[in-house]
Amino acid sequence: MATFGDFPPSSSKNTGATPDGHQPWERKVLEDLAFSALKEQRTSRRWGYVFKGLMFLYLVAVLILMTPAGDLPAHKKTHTALVEINGVISADAEANADTVVSGIREAFDNSNAQGLILRLNTPGGSPVQAGIINDEIQRLQSTRSNFPVYAVVQDVCASGGYYIAVAAKEIYADKASIVGSIGVRMDSFGFTETIEKLGIERRSLTAGDNKAFLDPFLPMKDKDVKHAHAMLNNIHQQFIDVVKAGRGDRLTDDPELFSGLFWSGEQALSLGLIDGLANSSTVARDIIGAEDIIDYTPRPNYLDRFAGKLGASLSQTIVKLSTMSMR
């Protein structure tokens, strides 16, 4: 049986071909129209499959979002609350004060939470963001004194991370964790010789004698360096005061303690920087007494994340289909 688009061999008897063997123009037009209609049907069918698939994905996502998360009912039971602080601490990073503090507040507000674990894995970051978190932990502890806060170090808890950790009642780490780096730094570059070699003329117009403070394209001034050191020393002293207030007489009298050095968890224990070697599960079970751990860490909105992925997937599909139709 012949299918659409199959035609019998041409002959002057049954096709209407001209005596010289050429098909008449009417038939050629009909063939072109038939193939165009077939191509259009295939394209429409392809787009139909795409949109049906996207609609199916959308419905699945809505159902997932409407279904309560598996750990939500556990909030009604006795448990240990957990808030994670991962990565660089910065206002524009995931580990920012607003996000971390919102999770900590939620844990304090739940009467079924028997204690809070701050699980840290961070090299540090902004002293301002770390200071906000430290201050808020202390404020919340004054509102619920029977709610202990423990810090548990994973791979790294340095600088601003340790600034946060000392707000906890006790700090625990693995024997191979990196702890410490109680210091402050300011980084920059100097390009004065480079621009001279390249023949570049530096033009900087300022209003104010110190507005071009530590300009990397100008030679360093002793006055600028002294001022920067004074500012760094002031922030460093703030850091030292916070550590001493949090750790008290548990700290050893080691002159290197506040020098910016860091140590392994085992070394940090002997220096009084931490209180023991343990992980989150151990602290929850043996110290807080509530083995079930509920994560209170605020996460990105799943609907926004899904919408972003859906938009990216849709755009890629459109580009792919457009490319296919142009072939």
Does residue 247 register a pLDDT over 50? Answer: yes
Query: Given this model, what pLDDT does residue 69 score?
Result: 45
CA-closest candidate to residue 77, choices 291, 285, 287, 286: 291
CA-closest candidate to residue 26, choices 5, 18, 40, 13: 18
> Residue 261 falls within a domain, yes or no?
yes
157 in the same domain as 257: yes
Range with the poorest average pLDDT among 37-41, 109-113, 191-195: 37-41
Cα(180)–Cα(273) distance, integer angstroms: 8
Does residue 307 register a pLDDT over 80? Answer: no
321 in the same domain as 195: no
pLDDT band at 310 (very low <50, low <70, confident <90, very high): low
Number of compact structural domains in the chain: 2
Q: How many CB atoms lie under 10 A from the CB of residue 107?
A: 25
Average pLDDT, integer, range 203-228: 85
Average pLDDT, integer, range 11-28: 56
The residue whose two tokens read 């050095």 is: 261
pLDDT band at 1 (very low <50, low <70, confident <90, very high): very low
208 in the same domain as 253: yes
Q: What is the CATH number of the domain that holds 235?
A: 3.90.226.10
Does residue 171 register a pLDDT over 90? Answer: yes
- What does the block give as tokens for 169? 């009642």
**In one letter, which amino acid is 83?**
V
- What does the block give as tokens for 124? 């540090």
Q: Coil, strand, or helix at residue 290? A: coil
Does residue 6 register a pLDDT over 80? Answer: no
Query: Given this model, what pLDDT does residue 136 score?
Result: 97
273 in the same domain as 311: no
206 in the same domain as 223: yes
Query: Given this model, what pLDDT does residue 221 score?
Result: 87
257 in the same domain as 208: yes
Top-confidence residue, 238 or 69 = 238
Query: Given this model, what pLDDT does residue 197 score?
Result: 81
The residue whose two tokens read 């043996």 is: 286
Average pLDDT, integer, range 103-113: 96
> Residue 309 falls within a domain, yes or no?
yes
In the chain, beta strands by DSSP E = 79-86, 113-122, 149-158, 170-173, 178-180, 262-264, 276-277, 293-295
Query: Given this model, what pLDDT does residue 78 score?
Result: 93
Does residue 161 register a pLDDT over 50? Answer: yes
Query: Given this model, what pLDDT does residue 66 score?
Result: 53
> Residue 12 falls within a domain, yes or no?
no
Query: Given this model, what pLDDT does residue 49 score?
Result: 67
271 in the same domain as 220: yes
192 in the same domain as 51: no
Query: Given this model, what pLDDT does residue 198 score?
Result: 83
pLDDT band at 47 (very low <50, low <70, confident <90, very high): low
The residue whose two tokens read 């005061």 is: 241
Under 8 Å between Cβ of 131 and 163: yes
312 in the same domain as 223: no
318 in the same domain as 272: no
317 in the same domain as 194: no
pLDDT band at 80 (very low <50, low <70, confident <90, very high): very high
Q: Coil, strand, or helix at residue 30? A: helix
- Domain carrying residue 140: 72-296
236 in the same domain as 153: yes
Top-confidence residue, 17 or 240 = 240
Cα(251)–Cα(271) distance, integer angstroms: 6
Range with the poorest average pLDDT among 12-26, 241-255, 268-282: 12-26
Under 8 Å between Cβ of 89 and 160: yes
